[in-house]
Amino acid sequence: MTTRDKAGCGHDGPALPLSDALGRVLAAVAPITDSERLPIRQALGRVLASDVSSTINVPAHDNSAMDGFALRSADLPDAAPLELRHIGAALAGRPFDGRVGPGECVRIMTGAPVPEGADTVVMQERVTADNERVQIEALPLRGANVRPAGEDIRAGDVALPAGAQLQPAHIGLLASIGVAEVDVLRRPRVAFFSTGDELCEVGTPTQPGQIYDSNRYTLFGMLQRLGTEIIDLGVIPDRPDELEAGLRRAAEGSDLILTSGGVSVGEADYLVEIFDGIGQIDFWSVAIKPGRPTVFGTLGDALYFGLPGNPVSVMATFYQLARPAILKLGGLQPQAPVLISATSAAAIKTKAGRTEFLRGVLSRDAQGQYVVAKTGHQGSGILSSMTQANCFIVVPENAEIIEAGSQVDVQPFEAFV
Ligand code: AMP
Ligand code: MG
């Protein structure tokens, strides 16, 4: 599949179902294996390149879960009360230096190591004590209120496996086992540029017929959130030589290239032909709305997505196709976006044969049930529909109408962060 008939394969030609397109994208992605060593705070959000095993037990010692008194369960009688001799204290960071013998107990604070000889802690609320004697009014069970050494992580265990994405809990856990640095996968490098003679850079006044380039900004935002290394190649005009040079330059230092615009069937839409000449096209049309004329292929070692120019199409195709590819590149296993079932506030008419992503506002009604309503204007150029929405309403390929009051799937935008 290296050439296409431009007239036949644009908006009217055969388009790949979204699930097939996604399957082909993911099949083409080989995860990055290069790694780098980082201090754990800087590794937040990154993906572990290798298993991290613990050399220590966490907690390191049997320790008290309560403020109270540590005692020997062998001393527990059949019935309360029990009187013990109070021989000292154990605090977190200041262990009791000695052994608890028969008839003895030690004052103990939460987190303090349970002294040798003792195996049970009685809560301080259950005793009356003076400096020398402790009277226990309600007997604890044997072993009560003791957190055993290694109950969180045992020495020698894999504490975190290769492939884990480091969230706040993960970097805390690494600290808890005394690990200051970890090997993480290199971040995916994504090069991108906008195409179009009409595009003007923000900060400069527009000439007649020009519009501001917004796609490089939405793309920047989405890529930044995915933790990619961003290579912004600016705006390239609709000139075949410059577009080809731009694609070649983008392929040099990147794992993945994104472009917007120039992939449709208009007069100045050169990208598909150019890409076909220098790379391998996998598909160029996907049965989704917005975003049908989406190109995917490879150029050298880089993956390529030629996204449509319309600002909403860019976001929809990025989220549905490019994002999973970038996650897999980065060593993660992309999960299908979270779907919530919601009641449609109004009827939604669509065309069968394509998956539609309408911009919706998801909320809960007085009964706590999810309801969703379309934002106003749904055109693929209406970027404000994305700022007003908090979800995509996903209308499946085979549906033609969603009746008011019926259930429809939505993808909350939070799923894409
Ligand atoms: P194209 O696919 O190049 O024909 O572009 C489709 C529509 O999207 C046209 O109205 C373009 O002006 C618009 N468009 C293309 N690229 C951008 C961009 N970077 N920022 C904003 N609008 C764009
Ligand atoms: Mg264009």
Q: What is the pLDDT of residues 249-281, one digit of tens each?
A: 999 999 999 999 999 999 999 999 999 999 999
pLDDT tens figures, 192-212: 999 999 999 999 999 999 999
Please give the pLDDT value at position 1: 41
What residues does ligand 1 touch, defined as CB less than 6 Å away? Answer: 194, 196, 198-199, 211, 213-215, 260-262, 264, 266, 269, 308-311, 381
CATH assignment of 340-416, given 2.50.20.10, 2.40.340.10, 2.60.40.10, 1.10.287.3510? 2.40.340.10
Lowest-confidence region among 263-267, 280-284, 318-322: 263-267
Please give the pLDDT value at position 3: 44
Instruction: Name every residue whose Cβ is closer than 8 Å to that of residue 172 and which is 6 or more positions away in sequence.
Output: none
Q: Which CATH superfamily is domain 35-58+151-185 in?
A: Molybdopterin biosynthesis moea protein, domain 2 (3.90.105.10)
Residue at token pair 């000889």: 117
C-alpha of residue 251 to centroid of ligand 2, in Å = 21
Interior angle at CA 161, CA 157 and CA 162, nearest 5: 140
Measure the CA–CA gap between 292 and 310, rounded to whole angstroms.
Answer: 11
- Biggest CA pair distance of the chain: 96
List residues, by chain if needed, whose CB lies under 5 Å from ion ligand 2.
Answer: 196, 261-262, 309
Q: In the chain, where are the structural domains located?
A: 3-34+186-329, 35-58+151-185, 63-147, 340-416
Residue among 364, 365, 387 at smallest CA distance from 376: 387
Please give the pLDDT value at position 10: 43
Residue among 173, 213, 209, 166 at smallest CA distance from 38: 166
pLDDT tens figures, 63-108: 999 999 999 999 999 999 999 999 999 999 999 999 999 999 999 9
Residue among 289, 292, 334 at smallest CA distance from 16: 292
Residue 6, pLDDT > 50, answer: no
Beta bridge partners of 232: 192
Give me the CATH topology for the region 63-147: Molybdopterin biosynthesis moeA protein; domain 3 (2.170.190)
Mean pLDDT of 373-397: 96
Beta bridge partners of 289: 356
Judged by its nearest atom, the ligand closest to the C-alpha of residue 268 is 2
Please give the pLDDT value at position 2: 40
pTM of structure: 0.93
Residue 137, pLDDT > 80, answer: yes
